[in-house]
Amino acid sequence: MGAPRDERVPGVRLVVSLYREFEQVARRGDLSMAQYRTLLYLLGGSRRAGELAAANEVTKPTVSSMINGLRQQGWVDDAVDETGDGRVTRIELTEAGRARLARFEGELADRMELLVPGVDRAAMVAFLRELYEAHAETREERLGNVFGTGP
């Protein structure tokens, strides 16, 4: 007799399966999932490279390479950190970056809808929005823990 099945497992498997599908979309285009996460993070405002590295849980050289690629695409640009003495730069999202982010999210949403045919679209959108908002409520605390500013 097997162990009792955890009722949460299908949800976990769905998230992993969707992520795999999203990675395939990214591989066929010009924006990786890591770059997407960075652009999405920058949507909330400019950040220092160290903050981007911490949020992505990668080294500073790794994030520097990614930022250079995003700069070459015209999706991010440097800005002077007004809170310091002008020596620190922040990375900010450009209008072209915002546009690419929106197109990519549309591509991912289209793929997701193809993977769940027959599901009530309005109900799915409402449920996913509710999940996203609940997840977002803990975002600052999670990021504070990453940056060493949380509880």
C-alpha distance across the termini of the chain, in Å: 43
Instruction: Look at residue 1 and tell me whether its pLDDT is greater than 80.
Output: no
Grade residue 107 by pLDDT with cuts at 50, 70 and 90: very high
Q: What is the per-residue pLDDT for 83?
A: 72
The pLDDT assigned to 98 comes to 98
pTM over 0.85: no
* More confident site: 101 or 140: 101
Quick one: average pLDDT of 25-31? 95
What pLDDT is recorded for position 120? 92
Q: Are 55 and 143 in contact (CB under 8 A)?
A: yes
Mean pLDDT across the stretch 5-15? 91
All domains of the chain in start order, with CATH? 22-115 (1.10.10.10)
Quote the mean pLDDT of the chain: 88
Beta bridge partners of 91: 47, 78
Question: pLDDT by residue (tens digit) across 110-122?
Answer: 999 898 888 898 9
**What pLDDT, in 10s, does the model give residues 54-101?**
888 889 899 999 999 999 999 999 998 777 666 778 999 999 999 999
